[in-house]
Structure formats: structure tokens, C-alpha cells
Amino acid sequence: MLSVSGLQVSHGAVQALRGISFSLACGQVLAVLGRNGSGRSSLARALMGLVQGQVRGRVQWQGQDLLGLAPHQIARLGVGYVPEARDVFPLLTVHQNLLLGLPGHLGAAAERERLAWAYGLFVQLHARCNTLAAQLSGGEQQMLSLARSLLARPRLLIVDEPTEGLAPALVQTVGQMLRDQAAAGVAIVLMEQKLDLVPALADRVLVLGRGEVVFEGTPQTLQQAPQVRSLWLEA
């Protein structure tokens, strides 16, 4: 479904990505790991058409070239994006934020059905539906960002640091939601700094270091590579 070949991203004289290549099929989860500055967020933003710098290489989604398309055009092709910054609308309520995630072609009954489904994903949001997003905790804002992205029923989901700052119980909730989406056939690119979710969730792992792939394999293979973990992941 997703094919990335020789992807390079430069911000002026700084090269954030140096020829990243990988592919991803439906229902697969690819975890992209690395320390801060390794290029994880640059990769997520490049896939979503959000990079302001120079981008080279090739990104194809279901045979469609993505490089050069605007973010809204990529979203309409079935790609969802959950940014690290969450990017909820602070002066809108939870319910109003979710409404903005709905496709425009749905009828009233279908909208109600999808909203009920989203509230079922994260029951905490239902209790806070009339609360301004600015008044939510960091974990609640993360749940809202995830639920809003899923309302469009994307076939590819790019998630940047979904567990950052979350309590352990919420980390498990987010992990289960992502597992359910993968089981439903959604391809997921998961940008993470920690290994917490990876063994139980990811099919494959890329470890980035200084904008390059320094390891590619299964989570089990990574567990058996202490040198990779010590050099590129552990503090």
C-alpha cells in the first residue's frame, strides 16, 4: 500500500533524512524508532506533505505519488495523521473538534453513528464532550486527536509519538486501539522514542540515526541487538 524510496528531506543546510526506503502493506504496523533529532518527525511530516524544506525521492500510496501534493489532498486519499503536538482546536469543545474530523459527504445518521463509534473508542471523551479542548489533560488531548483522525476511516495512519506524556494505563488504551485498527486492515506508521508499545504492536521496526536507517527488522530481532539499542535508542 505504501512505498517509500530514497526519501531525503533538507532544511537549508541541515539534512534531516538521508535516503529512507521501506514499504508497508494493509494491516501492518511499522514502528520507526530513534532518539530526538533522528528524523522521525521529519519522516511523518514528509509523508503527510507538511515539510517546508526540500524533499526528494519517491512516496507512493496505493500507486499514487504523494510528493508534491498538499496535506488535504493526501488526507482525501485515505491517509490520517496524528501529530506529536496533537493540534486540537483549544477554543472548541471535544464534540466540535470531532465534528471537524468527519468527511463532508456523510448524512446525519452516518455522522451520529461515527461519532458514537469515536466516543466508544475513548469513553473518557464522552464525559467531556462539552469541555473546551484547552481544558483537557495532555492524555485527553491525545485521545481527542486520535479519535478525530480516525473518524475519516483512514486506510493509512501516521502517528507521531502517541504515548508521549501519557500515564501507563492510557498507554495501554492507545496501544489496544492501534492494535484494533491494524486488525481491521489499517496500515500504521508509528513514530516512537520508547520501546514500550513496540513488541506487542509492531510487525517491523526501523531505527533511525542521524537521518539514516541504522536497523531494520522485527521487534524480536531488535531485542537481540543490544548494541543497536545502546547506540541509537537508550539514553
The per-residue pLDDT for range 1-59, each reduced to its tens digit, is 899 999 999 988 899 999 999 999 999 999 999 998 999 999 999 999 999 879 999 99
The per-residue pLDDT for range 57-92, each reduced to its tens digit, is 999 999 999 999 999 999 999 999 998 888 899 999
Task: Categorize the per-residue pLDDT at 204 as very low, low, confident or very high, splitting at 50, 70 and 90.
Answer: very high
Predicted local distance difference test score (pLDDT) of residue 141: 92
Is 235's pLDDT higher than 70? no
Say what percent of the chain tops pLDDT 90.
77
Is 208's pLDDT higher than 90? yes
Is residue 51 within 8 A of residue 42, CB to CB? The reply is yes
Domains and CATH numbers, the chain: 2-86+154-232 (3.40.50.300)
* Arithmetic mean of pLDDT, 130-155: 93
Predicted local distance difference test score (pLDDT) of residue 121: 87
